Amino acid sequence: MNILLIKNLAAGAIMASVANTSPVAMLSSAVSDRSSAQVSAQNAPDAMDSWLQKLAHKESEGREHIKILDHNNQYSYGCLQFQMATFRSYIRKYDLLENTEDAELENMIYDCDFQKVLARKMIEDDYSNWRNWYTSVSVRNLGLPPRISAQLAEK
């Protein structure tokens, strides 16, 4: 046995006697907890995911099925309040939802997860696209989206 494992088992024995469990069970539990933490870190949302979540809250309080008549007399839809013209333009630009009929687009514009994917793509493609959500970013104090390393390398 290696020395570290023996020390951990010895320390575990003391803790185990207090907790009424075996030192091996406690050690394997600690290893399992560490593995779970590593897996969780890999699946954890990145900074852009967190920013998009906050944006959805500022735009619509996170509500997917919301339609609002905006200041420009156009409707804004879903959690990120896309207007249909903007939505169509960017899904065409990025070749998303090819061969989708207009009726299906009207359903997809309410899909919050899809809106977040599209918004991420827009900002990664051109950082200034955050301006589509100017009011939330600047007036409602959300702040600018995080810059990803690929964007920093280009600048």
pLDDT digits (tens, 9 = 90+) for 122-153: 999 999 999 999 999 999 999 999 997 544 44
Asked if residues 133 and 80 have their Cβ atoms less than 8 Å apart, the reply is yes
Query: Chain-wide mean pLDDT for the chain?
Result: 79
Quick: pLDDT tens for 64-82. Answer: 999 999 999 999 999 999 9
Instruction: Judge if 28 and 55 occupy the same domain.
Output: no
CA atoms within 13 A on the CB side of 20: 0
Give the structural domain span for 75.
47-154
Q: Do residues 61 and 30 both lie within one domain?
A: no
| Total domain count, the chain | 2
The reply to whether 55 and 9 lie within a common domain is: no
Determine the pLDDT at residue 14.
40
Q: Are residues 112 and 141 in the same domain?
A: yes
- Kindly state whether residues 103 and 59 are assigned to the same domain: yes
- The closest of 97, 115, 113 to 105, measured between CA atoms, is 97
| pLDDT value at residue 83 | 98
Does 35 share its domain with 66? no
Specify which residues 132 forms β-bridges with. none
